Structures are given as C-alpha cells and as structure tokens.
C-alpha cells in the first residue's frame, strides 16, 4: 500500500474529482455551502496550490447545485 499526504497531493498540477450518483447530491451541496474548515470530508479540503482543481459531476450528483 502506498499513501500520499494532502500536502503532496496539493503540489499536483491538476487534481480531478469525479462524482457520480444521486447519493452524492447532498454531500456536494454541503461542500459548496459549508466553510472548508467545518467539512468532515478530508478530500474536499484538498485543492491544487499552483495548479487546477477540477470537479466533474453527472446530473444526478449535481441536482442540488
């Protein structure tokens, strides 16, 4: 098993999130409307420091946005 820390991941030129399914809609809304320090989802706090952070969502996941 190989683990990477958030600090290492944040150095990437591009970070891409792929989110699918209706079951993720409430979580995505929470991520978009809650201050990052209050989020219980570690991955949602990771953003590229000097690059691009992309979110790809299907319609079901994005239905509340």
Residue 65 has pLDDT above 90, yes or no: yes
Structure tokens at 61: 């996941």
pLDDT at 49: 96
Give the span between the Cα atoms of 39 and 42, in whole angstroms: 8
DSSP 61: T
pLDDT at 1: 75
**In this predicted model, what pLDDT tens digit does every residue of 10-62 receive, in sequence order?**
999 999 999 999 999 999 999 999 999 999 998 889 999 999 999 999 999 99
């Amino acid at each position: 098993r190989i683990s990477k820390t958030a600090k290492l991941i944040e150095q990437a030129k591009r970070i891409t999130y792929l989110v699918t399914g209706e079951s993720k809609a409430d979580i995505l809304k929470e991520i978009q409307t809650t201050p990052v320090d209050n989020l219980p989802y570690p991955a949602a706090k990771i953003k590229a420091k000097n690059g691009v952070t992309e979110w790809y969502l299907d319609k079901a996941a994005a239905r509340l946005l």
